[in-house]
Amino acid sequence: MDDVVAAIDCGSNSTRLLLASRETTYAREMRITRLSEGVDATRTLADAALARTYAVLEEYRALMDRFEVRRGLLVATSAVRDAANGATFIDEAQRRTRIDARILSGQEEASFSYEGATADLASGGGSTLIVDVGGGSTELAVRVGGELRSYSMQLGCVRLAERALGGGVVTPLRARAARAMIDAELDRAFDAVPSFDAVVGPVRMVGLAGTVATLAQLDAELATYDRDVVHHRRLTREVVNRWRAILEAETPSQRLTHPGMVRGREDVLVGGLYVLDAVMERFAVGELLTSESDILDGIVLSLV
């Protein structure tokens, strides 16, 4: 068997695994674990969230054993960065998976995501901006003049739900609060990275992670996930807003009736769509390209 390596992403809402060699993908797995539950308020990873995540990591280690995986990297992002017990989590995650584990900075997260998402893209002749809408943060990254410029917005679908939107039907008051939070974060992003101004309008936008993937499944009415349909699907801003309007008027249980809705995202997807729409508006982009290649693929590229 080829030298198979493992990449594990312990995100705010999901814990994901990629097993791959230089030439072959052997497994992609995703479990909703909501590691960030309550972190925004308590700055602590909750016992229940830790238990859910550790159980999945042990499941992943068993799968890694089947492929004789000895090398890999587990990364943790926004939720663990923000938690007082984040280092303890990393130590335990490394013990259970028996691969290297570390907390990524926002810059590192954006870099891995950018490399993974753009590796299989045809050259577009211009700049490519990746938008990685996570649970606790949203990474923006674009290469300008040969250098990667990035910013980690401290808002994602879970954090926005906990701070402003709630998990159910969205009231006008909650919607205004959410928009104000996102606009303030985008203002900070453009102040911190002046290069973003240079790509407003002509930039090719590539959307990553669960919010974008779930939107693509809803748009395609996919009852069963099909990577070939979701990967590199084009989604207009009109599609983003149409689904946001539909879902924010529904309860979580009603949202689950739509083909393509992923269980575990029904209470937070609306927040991700608010973020996605605001980013598209700020960069004057009418459509984006979805990518199922992301931070995991970037990690594998660094290992092989």
The CATH superfamily holding the domain 119-296 is: Exopolyphosphatase. Domain 2 (3.30.420.150)
The confidence score (pLDDT) of residue 129 equals: 95
The confidence score (pLDDT) of residue 78 equals: 83
Q: Where in the chain is the domain with CATH 3.30.420.40?
A: 5-104
How confident is the model over 273-291, as a mean pLDDT? Answer: 96
**pLDDT tens track for 124-160:** 668 999 999 988 889 999 998 888 999 999 899 989 9
How confident is the model over 33-51, as a mean pLDDT? Answer: 90
Sheet with strand 5-10: strands edge to edge: 25-32, 14-20, 5-10, 71-76, 100-103
The confidence score (pLDDT) of residue 275 equals: 96
Q: Is 149 left (phi over 0), alpha (psi -120 to 50) or beta?
A: beta
Q: Where in the chain is the domain with CATH 3.30.420.150?
A: 119-296
- For 134-286, strand residue ranges (E) read 138-144, 147-153, 204-208, 234-236
How confident is the model over 194-216, as a mean pLDDT? Answer: 93
The CATH superfamily holding the domain 5-104 is: ATPase, nucleotide binding domain (3.30.420.40)
**Please, which residues have CB within 8 angstroms of residue 235's CB and are 6 or more apart in sequence?**
207, 212, 215, 216, 219, 287, 288, 289, 290
* pLDDT over threshold 60, residue 1: no
- The DSSP code for 153 is E
